[in-house]
Amino acid sequence: MTEVTRVPLQPIAKGSLTKLWIGIVVAVLAAAALAWYAAPRGVDVDTVTAGSGPNPGATDVVFVRYTGTLEDGSVFDQSQDIPLPIEGIFPEGNPLPLDRMVPGFTEGAQQMQKGGTYRITIPASQGYGAEGRTDPQGNVVIPPNETLTFEVELVDFMTMPDFERRLATLQQAMQMGAPGDMGGDPSAPEGQAVPQDGIQPAPAPLQ
């Protein structure tokens, strides 16, 4: 039968025990800091000009003016006010349904307030990821693993049911064709006045 060799443990002096615990605590804190540093960064929202009132919800439609830039500072997308034929139904700005945006844009928008201007920094994990985004011609619009920055002015927002009710009112008024109620260019096609399915132009924040 093989005899197990026993290694006697040396007694630890009182001062050494304290140093041992301090060493353990330092090691744990260092590991925690490393884990935090290595963890994926979330969406960063900086207030440029403060707004007021409540925040949009995750399924609301926001009306915004925005400029999207890449890491090198180049502009890849910029909003344009939608020319609506009847004033007073929709606010100014570009309407974006938050439940159709990339996660980072939706998260950032929910921290904004009406009338405010914000800078939203979206990591690739909350944007277009490792695939990036190309246009219909195959040109790269968003490079893979790209951090995006949006300068956003929140003009107003409303719920999706409210947006749909106003859209129905607008379409009904356009069908009636009342000259006194029409504004802007009456010859503009309906698809231009109230774009459907993605509400263009807004290629960057869309999923």
> What confidence tens digit (pLDDT) does each residue in 64-116 have?
999 999 999 999 999 987 776 567 788 899 999 999 999 999 999 999 999 99
For residue 72, what is the domain's CATH number? 3.10.50.40
Domain assignment of residue 151, yes or no: yes
pLDDT for the residue 112: 97
Burial of 56-90, coded b for 16+ CB within 10 Å and e otherwise, reads: beeebbbbbbbebbbeeeeebbebeebebbbeeeb
User: Considering only 31-35, 97-101, 163-167, which range has the smallest mean pLDDT?
Assistant: 31-35
Q: What is the residue range of 166's domain?
A: 44-193
Q: Which residue has the higher pLDDT, 107 or 38?
A: 107
Number of domains the chain is built from: 1
Q: What is the mean pLDDT of residues 110-127?
A: 97
Q: Residue 9 above 90 pLDDT?
A: no
| pLDDT value of residue 170 | 85
